[in-house]
Structure 1
Amino acid sequence: MSRSDAVRTSTSAKVLYRPVGIVSSILGGLVANLVFKKVWRRAAPSQAPSAPPNALDTGTGLATVLLAAGLQGAIFAVVKVLIDRGGATAFQKWSGEWPGD
């Protein structure tokens, strides 16, 4: 459906969805963090630590830190989209209105 064909979401639907969006975002962040740690353990270069490095780790090279950051960002972005879209779809089924737009 194009934006011009879409029906505008009511203000009440947006307000009612706000707590759902906040809770699902928090849960999504926790899930994304767990997924990233598991993926890092499998995908990390052999010389990298088993725990994901951060920018201030002195014993970890810049390339490894950048790899970890890029992987973490990609995983968080995908999980966020899945959580946001799933929450909006569930809200629409419950209320009959799409919470965005």
Structure 2
Amino acid sequence: MASKQRKMSLCYKPVGLILGMGGGMLAGALCTRAWRLVGDGREAPDPLDDERAWREVLISAALHGAIFSVVKAAVDRGGAEGVRRVTGRWPA
């Protein structure tokens, strides 16, 4: 049983890697769009930009982190469910 689980885990690694890269690109695009709405159409602030206020930098970072976390969870969960539909087993 442990051997099958190990094989499933190894087989899922490349799938998870590809899904993770796609999810990262999606999250980046969502962050850009979200900040344009929140930040009055401006680019997201760089933490080292002395022209931007602390508040703006920290709000941008929090928004960025929240979006990436939600997208990662959705991609990981969706990928695992997709593998289970195809193989009948949950990857671990």
**Under a length normalisation based on structure 2, what TM-score does the superposition of the two structures give?**
0.92
Equivalent residue for 1:38, pick from 33, 36, 40: 33
Alignment map for 1:6-85 (pairs within 5 Å): 10-44=5-39, 46=40, 50-85=42-77
Gapped regions of structure 2 (runs ≥ 5)? none
Give the 4+ runs in structure 1 shifted more than 2 A: none
Higher-helix-fraction structure: 2
1:98 and 2:82 equivalent?
no
1:11-64 CA distance string (max 9 Å, x none): 1100000000001011100000000100100012x4xx7111121111101110
Residues 52-97 of structure 1: per-residue CA shift (max 9 Å, x gap): 1121111101110000000000000000000000000001111111
Gaps of 5+ in 1: 1-6
Count matched residues.
91
Please report the RMSD computed on the Cα atoms of aligned residues, expressed in angstroms: 1.6
Give the SS at the match of 2:48: coil
TM-score normalised to the size of structure 1? 0.84
Q: Percent identity?
A: 34
